[in-house]
Amino acid sequence: MNLMPVLAMNLILLVITILLILADRLLVTYGKCKIKVTHGDESRELEVQGGSALLGYLTAHGVSVSSSCGGRGTCGYCKVRVVSGGGPILPTEELFMSRQEKADGMRLACQVKVKNDIAIAIPDLLTIVRQMALNKKFDTTKRWKVTIH
């Protein structure tokens, strides 16, 4: 069996992918973007140069968001509620979201690219624990899921 056409096609796809990534990084500029962060009763606004993941900006500005995979989108702990400006949910995020969480606008901060002004709400730990207790859904053997109402 001749594998040359398959290898050639894969090589072409690889080159196109690399060119698209380079074009996105070098040619696309998103300018200054504002991130409005609400955490409990507190609210603050960050001004950043757009184009990177939300989690990185939050971490750089001292906003604490749970994370155990370093932003690779594999742990599902960096959930925040995007109030506006986050764009559509990505397939990589859907794996970690319940239907209710998707309806509530929950997103993975490491997967949301900041391209324009964005407003988010970060659930505080007390709210998370209280919600788990009220719903009697706390199960230490399962991955926790947060729903904000």
Residues that bind ligand FES in the complex, under the rule CB under 6 A: 55, 67, 69, 71, 73-78, 108, 110
For residue 82, the SS3 value is strand
| Complex with ligand FES: residue 59 or 136, whichever CB lies closer | 59
Q: Which two tokens stand for residue 56?
A: 């990185």
Smallest gap from Cβ 27 to ligand FES, in A, equals 27
| Complex with ligand FES: residue 13 or 52, whichever CB lies closer | 52
Smallest gap from Cβ 90 to ligand FES, in A, equals 11
| Complex with ligand FES: residue 78 or 82, whichever CB lies closer | 78
Smallest gap from Cβ 45 to ligand FES, in A, equals 23
Please state the φ and ψ torsions of residue 3, each to the nearest 5 degrees.
-95, 0
**64 contact partners, CB below 8 Å, separation of at least 6:** 58
Q: In what order do the strands lie in the sheet containing 32-39? A: 42-49, 32-39, 118-122, 79-84, 106-108
